[in-house]
Amino acid sequence: MLTIRLLGPPAVERDGRPVRPPRGRKAWALLGYLLLAERPPARERLAELFFCDADDPLGALRWTLAELRRALALPGTLGGDPVATELGAEVTVDVHVLANGDTDPAPLLDVEGELLEGLRLAACPQFESWLLVERHHVSAMVEARLRQAAVALLAAGRPREAIAYATRAVARNPLEEGNHELLVRGLAAAGDRTAALRQVAVCEDTLRRELGMRASAARREAAAVDRGSPTAPPLSGRGAAASQLDAGRAAIVAGAVDAGLQCLRRAVSEAARCGEATLHGRALAALGGALVHASRGRDEEGAVVLHEAIAVATRAGDRATAVTAHRQLGYVEVLAGRGRTADTWLAKAHALAETDEELAAVLALRGLRAVDRADYPAGLRHLGESAERAGRCADNRQQAWSLTILARTHLLRGEHSQSAAALTQALDLVHRERWMAFLPFPQTLRAELDLRAGDTVLASEGLERAWALACQVEDPCWEGMAARGLALLSARRGDHTAAVMWFAEADRRCRRVTDLYQWLHAYVMDAMAAAALARGDTAQAAPLVARLASLAARCDMREFVVRAHLHRHHLGDRTALAAARLLAADIDNPALLPLLGGTPALGALAARTG
């Protein structure tokens, strides 16, 4: 068995013993690039990337590929054009193993160092840019799997084991409040409340010092093990559990979140006490969903509850509840930008789903995930099927949601007529359902279309309505979207002071909760950077671009990675444009192509953003 280690100092082992590695830094760089490429790369592209300074780039590539085959003792591999990247079943790559969400998470506890640690190729700036992005991406993948393991162990009642994974997650990313909460929950559940409160204090001090933010109340509440209601329902048994479940769902829909959560906790407790497994699973799924959707800052608690729901529903043979819980966990991961774990949960939900209603909901999230990572063809396909299935089963809200994300996708691709058609249908459904909590999102997209068409009067009217309603329903995502639109409107009118104010408001609003939608945060920062560049304010643009690049790389938002490089190009980085072209090679977005031409395009950049 051959093992290739790319994390930490790169190495090759055969049957657990080190073997002679390939000679030269470029050989390791080429091997890492090949093993992490999404699809086999063309030889010409590889020669340009690694050997553009050689007299015979293709010849240098052939020699390096031969050296890799010799070092790995795999004579029949790494051939053809494009270069085949499959090495066979007898070869394992540490990054691939760790990325598989179905494998034993224990090796995660031993991961040290970064991807291809110590490797630098100053003469290959495009590769350096690629490597920086991949290092962020791989680090985020390891962190996501550590979180997933901690949540699963907490749900299984094994908090002492969960502590080890949560501790490593905090060490990898101490600025992620959710990592601290998982550690606090583990310590509290293991009976060490003093250590749990100490960790709450560490979290509060870290966030205040590094980000100027206050930790949410959910972190301190996590130190209390008993999250049940202080009062018991007057009746007991299956009927009481079912009644509390119905009451909790109704309260959540009506907007009485605290009362709804209290009822759902009672339903969970009573269903477990009376041994009603199916009802217990459904109550857990309802509580987990409410924590994720209706109660801000409680995604970690919701994830633990949803893990419990899956375990209970699986034992009870309740397929429908298992679908719901898997999908809700996928939703949490999509919004957090943890793409690989999102894919795992949504793939499992898709495999279990049977009805149009179930498939419409799962496909909508798969579409959202695809669009967020700039896989637009897959996103359009999933969202289109989701809207069609939702229409067949008369699920108006799901159809409106899917059509709105579909409209957003067409807007990102510059396909304004198709975006308008989807929005018209979505808005009709939203008004028909009187779904006021969702209305600001399609309203903002409609106003952005008006703005791009040059109709500032209609755009202003739509954005002001969206902003007012978003503030009324207290949704930070919709507030951030609407404020971003108002900033672009102000910039279009030439009022740069108001534009700066609204951009700052958008940034603050979409970050005011811990469980924020990372794609939206990047969307706001991209617009802020483009606007700053358009008015020549490089002092403001530079740190925004750095933040955008880091966030986009960690969350696998490929187009925002490209756009960060384009911003760097306009900031004067001479290598950034070539890197942007390399990173954009697999992105199918007609609206992105004009920005990759290398001509001064600040106006186009700002227009593309807004």
- 6-17 pLDDT, tens digit per residue, is 999 999 999 989
Share of the chain above pLDDT 90, in %: 83
Provide the 8-state DSSP code for 42: P
The mean predicted confidence, pLDDT, of the chain is: 92
Do 374 and 557 meet the contact criterion of CB atoms below 8 Å apart? yes
Cβ 375 vs Cβ 557: under 8 Å: no
Read off the pLDDT of residues 135-154 as tens digits, 9 standing for 90 and up.
Answer: 999 999 999 999 999 999 99
> What pLDDT sits at residue 504?
96
Instruction: Please give the pLDDT value at position 255.
Output: 81
**At 298, is the pLDDT very low, low, confident or very high (cuts 50, 70, 90)?**
confident
Q: How many Cβ atoms from other residues are within 10 Å of residue 241's Cβ?
A: 26
Determine the pLDDT at residue 229: 40
Query: Which residue in the block uniquely carries the two structure tokens 């957003």?
Result: 408
Please check the confidence at residue 297 and state whether its pLDDT lies above 80: no
pTM of the model: 0.90
Q: What one-letter code names the amino acid at 193?
A: R
Distance CA 163, CA 187 (A): 7
Asked if pLDDT for residue 207 goes beyond 80, the answer is yes
> Is residue 82 reached through a cis peptide bond, with omega within 30 degrees of 0 on the bond before it?
yes
State how far the Cα of 530 lies from the Cα of 537, in Å rounded to an integer.
10
Beta strands 11-14 and 2-5: pairing type?
A: antiparallel
Among the listed residues 556, 554, 564, the one whose alpha carbon sits nearest the alpha carbon of residue 595? 564
Q: What is the pLDDT of residues 324-360, one digit of tens each?
A: 999 999 999 999 999 999 999 999 999 999 999 999 9
Residues pairing with 92 in the sheet? 3
Q: At what angle do helices 356-372 and 319-336 cross, to 10 degrees?
A: 20
Which residue is associated with the tokens 């903002």? 444
Q: How far is CA 373 from CA 29, 343, 398, 420, in A?
A: 24, 12, 22, 23
The 10s digit of each residue's pLDDT in 395-412 is 999 999 999 999 999 999
pLDDT at 117: 94
| pLDDT at residue 227 greater than cutoff 50 | no
Give the pLDDT confidence of 479-538 residue by residue, as tens digits.
Answer: 999 999 999 999 999 999 999 999 999 999 988 777 789 999 999 999 999 999 999 999
Q: Report whether pLDDT(222) > 90.
A: no
Q: What is the pLDDT of residues 180-206, one digit of tens each?
A: 999 999 999 999 999 999 999 999 999
Q: How confident is the model at residue 610 (pLDDT cuts 50, 70, 90)?
A: very low
Please state whether 463 falls in left (phi above 0), alpha (psi between -120 and 50) or beta: alpha
At residue 601, the pLDDT reads 38
- DSSP result, 158-187: -HHHHHHHHHHHHHH-TT-HHHHHHHHHHH
Cα dihedral 513/161/145/383 (nearest 10):
-60
Q: Which H or E run contains 391?
A: helix 376-392
Q: Given phi > 0 = left and psi -120 to 50 = alpha, else beta, which region is 598? A: left
The predicted structure's pLDDT at residue 294: 79
pLDDT of residue 603: 36
Helix (H, G, I), strand (E, B) or coil at 318: coil
- Each residue of 541-559: b (16+ CB within 10 Å) or e? bbebbebbbebbbbbbbbb
* pLDDT at 513 (0 to 100): 76
Q: Which residues does residue 7 pair with via DSSP β-bridges, in sequence order?
A: 115
Which of these, 536, 422, 525, lies nearest to 480 by C-alpha position? Answer: 525
Which of helix, strand or coil describes residue 147?
helix
Distances (CA, A) of 555 to 33, 337, 369: 19, 5, 11
Amino acid in position 417: S
Tally DSSP H helices, then E strands, for the chain: 28, 4
Residue type, 389: R
Q: Is the pLDDT at 607 greater than 90, yes or no?
A: no
Cα–Cα distance for residue pair 360/387, rounded to 1 Å: 7
- Is the pLDDT at 18 greater than 80? The verdict is yes
Task: Say what the pLDDT of residue 195 is.
Answer: 94
Please, are residues 38 and 583 in contact by the beta-carbon 8 Å criterion?
no
